[in-house]
Structure 1
């Protein structure tokens, strides 16, 4: 295979964009492991008192990720996120205003390999979330296991990431003020195994937990489609029923994490590596679906609202797909 190298005369602005995405990729794939290793090494060194004190802090602060986290507007506003968003570029598209007097659950689709669109739009100000949706406070839900990693937890909480457990979501929707926007990657890690260029397969038909959560707290539902999310990486062919897919699914059930075999580009060449490709991502936020609070929703209530949500998601796809680079022949696959 021929390697396509990057030209030497790349403008400084594009180099900075690549550097911004490089640090993010490292943070996503390796920072947690490095933080854990640092924690262990400090315990085995003359500086053992530092991790010991941090352990005390960790014990005291254990529930913070499930109680709204500890966001930092300063971190969310770092200039590096502008470069990060412009690398692809990522663009956040508003189709309707959202009243900050209500709480919302954003159903984000698709998960993609590394949830790039969800992070860029809702964990940073790189695409201008606060300008497009004034009065709303976004919270991206993430697997709770990541908040057990020393040091790493502080960094991800600063970007408005919170634990994805039920306690966390209920806290934000019941004890915080209005204007809370919970962002849930509905398909979860299993959907990452279907993240391939030119395809849009969403795992939603059996996902009703977010619907029940919306009913219980009276939070309005907002479908969100990130066009181009699946085009950022290539993935080894793993059709359902294949040995690779079966192995991946078993590992996912054991570990809670999907393990797609993917590749993108490198820093100095475009043929292989772990950086995502420079391809546009348009994250379209649909119009809200009003939800009346129901403390004890029946299965019929959940099924009915779920059907409405799915229809709104389909409409959002059909309305915007050709506008944002999806061919007319491309179909939305729901499973």
Structure 2
């Protein structure tokens, strides 16, 4: 394979954007493992006081990721996130006002390989969420597994990440004054395995837990579609039923995280690497679906609201797909 190297005279701003995205990819893929390694190194080097204090802190703070986390506006305002946002670029698109006296479950679609749009819009302050939706605080829910990693958990919470456990979502939606938005990537890690350019397959037909929680808490539902999310990486062909896909599915069920084999570009060349392509991401926030609180929703009520959500998501996609380069004949595929 012939390497296509980046020109030497690329503007500094673009180089800084690439560096910002590379550190984000590193954080997503390897930072947790490095943090665990650092902790073990401290133990092996017999830094007993430091490790003992931190273990005590973990014990006392263990439930924080399920109780709203501990965001730090200073971290969310780091300049590196502005360069991260400008690399693609990422844009947050508002279709209607959201009442800050209500709580919301916002369903994010699609997962993509590394959910760049969800991170850029809801874990940094550079795409205008606070200005577009004043009075709302976004909480992006991720797998609880990540909050078991020492040191990494503190970093994850600082940008507004919280656990995706049922108790965590319930806690976010329990604010009686409203103003909280639980951002859930509905398709989960499994959907990452379908994140091929041009693919519009969403893993959602069996995902109804978020609907049940919405009914129990009286939280309104808001569909979100992030155009361009699946265009950031190439992925090794893994059609359902293939040997690779069967192995990936087993690993996903065993570990709880997906293992897509992906690639894109490098730092100094455009031919191969794990830095995503410079493709625009337009994250469109749809209209809210009103939900009446029901302490014990029936299966029929859950199914009805789930179908209403599917229809709203489909309508949102169809209304906006032409603006973002999706051919007229293409539509969402629900599995």
SS of the equivalent of 2:98 reads coil
1:106-157: CA deviations, max 9, x gaps?
A: 0000000001110000011121111111100000001001001000000000
1:56-108: CA deviations, max 9, x gaps?
A: 10001000000000011111111111110110001000000101000000000
Q: Does the CA-based 8 Å contact 1:75-1:158 persist in structure 2? A: yes
Within 1, Cα distance between the matches of 2:176 and 2:131? 21
Query: Is the aligned partner of 1:301 residue 2:301?
Result: yes
Partner of 1:121: 121
Aligned length: 335
Within 1, Cα distance between the matches of 2:176 and 2:290? 19
Q: TM-score normalised to the size of structure 2?
A: 0.99
Listed as ranges, the matches of 1:165-244 within 5 Å are: 165-175=165-175, 177-244=177-244
How far 1:46 moved relative to its partner? 4.5
SS of the equivalent of 1:267 reads coil
Listed as ranges, the matches of 1:133-152 within 5 Å are: 133-152=133-152
Within 1, Cα distance between the matches of 2:97 and 2:252? 37
Partner of 1:77: 77
How far 1:175 moved relative to its partner? 4.4
Q: Does the CA-based 8 Å contact 2:103-2:175 persist in structure 1? A: no
Partner of 2:246: 246
Within 2, Cα distance between the matches of 1:150 and 1:317? 39
1:289-321: CA deviations, max 9, x gaps?
A: 010000100000000001111001000111100
Q: TM-score normalised to the size of structure 1?
A: 0.99
1:1-22: CA deviations, max 9, x gaps?
A: 2211111000011011111101
CA-atom RMSD in angstroms: 0.9
SS of the equivalent of 1:221 reads strand
How far 1:249 moved relative to its partner? 0.3
SS of the equivalent of 1:322 reads helix
Partner of 1:273: 273
Partner of 1:4: 4
Within 2, Cα distance between the matches of 1:46 and 1:205? 51
Q: Does the CA-based 8 Å contact 1:199-1:330 persist in structure 2? A: no
Listed as ranges, the matches of 1:252-263 within 5 Å are: 252-263=252-263
Partner of 2:333: 333
CA 1:133–1:175: 2 relative to 1, 3 Å? closer
Within 1, Cα distance between the matches of 2:90 and 2:31? 23
Runs of 4+ in 1 over 3 A off after TM superposition: none
Gaps of 5+ in 2: none
Partner of 1:89: 89
Listed as ranges, the matches of 1:41-52 within 5 Å are: 41-52=41-52
Within 2, Cα distance between the matches of 1:245 and 1:177? 45
Q: Does the CA-based 8 Å contact 1:235-1:263 persist in structure 2? A: yes
SS of the equivalent of 1:93 reads strand
Partner of 1:98: 98
Q: Does the CA-based 8 Å contact 1:66-1:171 persist in structure 2? A: yes
Q: Does the CA-based 8 Å contact 2:102-2:177 persist in structure 1? A: no
How far 1:24 moved relative to its partner? 0.6
Partner of 2:35: 35
Q: Does the CA-based 8 Å contact 1:198-1:330 persist in structure 2? A: no
SS of the equivalent of 1:323 reads helix
